Structure 1
Amino acid sequence: MHELLQLRGETVATAESLTGGQLAALLTAVPGASRSYVGGVVSYATSVKIEVLGVPAELVESHGVISAPCASAMAARVAAVTGAVWGLATTGVAGPDPQEGHPPGTVYVGIAGPEGPTAVRLELSGERAEIQAATCREALGLLTGQLGKR
């Protein structure tokens, strides 16, 4: 994935909620990652999603933070804030308790790129750490898939 980004002169940034920085850690574990990964925001609190990333408060009020619109907005906003070509975002419930009426394992991965933002809903199972790890794998797979289409 980094090789594809670097060949194209493109960059990626992350906005993470339930993964708490794990996605950024995976992206930066690769030597030379600084040529394609520009940075990220761990927006665990709703206020950080709104005040730092710039996700519209009205969107959060209407749809909640565990939603496709929020994941899409997080991805688009982190790309805009960092100047990255691609934004990748995670939001959802890792557990153990439900949030916003959603059970653990309800996850949205947002991706924003040259063709605009979108989000994918995941229904994951397992313990908290398993849900977080699976979310990271799915997010990286989504980005790799989008890069392969271009």
Structure 2
Amino acid sequence: MILEPLGLPFPQVAALIDALRQRGETVATAESLTAGLVTAALTEVPGASAVVRGGLVVYATDLKDRLAGVDADLLAEHGAVHPDVAAQLAVGASRRCGADWGIGLTGVAGPDPQDGVAPGTVHLGFAGPGGAQVRTVELDGDRHAVRAAAVRVALEHFAGLLR
């Protein structure tokens, strides 16, 4: 089960899926540093297919533009790890997958910096009926810990948006 190594309690993720179901809404993801872990966590819940539309793994920078629709000029100017990239990933996930909500994640899991951005820097984008927003967090630990914490923070924040 993917949730246990990520430190996510199953009831918390199941409640998130149930909240989407009750609202009649769907979600999709565009993930870079987490490479599909958010989608994997969401789909651990039986019946998730009723609300999870899909996900894009856009690990390579050029795929952020080609698959998720992130502005190529933004990527060229600021690199892949930027708050606006996270917002555009979220919007792109929603649009490309036909979902009510999009979640976009970009950041540096480490061990080395990327484009001058320190390991542990993560930008989380959320796009929904009320527009898009970004949350930036600085996470501690090794590569696994940063990726796991990014998934936890993203799902916790998304659950808060649904309340």
TM-score range, shorter chain: over 0.9
Task: Measure the CA separation in 2 of the matches of 1:145 and 1:24.
Answer: 18
In the other structure, the counterpart of 2:66 is: 51
State the shift of 1:62 in Å: 2.6
User: How do residues 88-103 of structure 1 correspond to structure 2 at under 5 angstroms?
Assistant: 88-103=103-118
Determine if the alignment matches structure 1 residue 145 to structure 2 residue 163.
Answer: no
Aligned length: 148
Taking structure 2 as the reference length, the TM-score comes to 0.89
Q: CA RMSD in A?
A: 0.7
Q: How far, CA to CA, are the matches of 1:64 and 1:103 in structure 2?
A: 13
In structure 1, distance between residues paired with 2:85 and 2:73: 10
In structure 2, the residue corresponding to 1:133 is in which secondary structure? helix
Q: Which residue of 2 is the match for residue 31 of structure 1?
A: 46
Mapping 1:94-133, distance limit 5 Å: 94-133=109-148
Query: What is the CA distance between 1:61 and its match in structure 2?
Result: 2.0
TM-score using structure 1 length: 0.96
Question: 1: CA distance between counterparts of 2:87 and 2:78?
Answer: 12
Residue of structure 1 equivalent to 2:22: 7
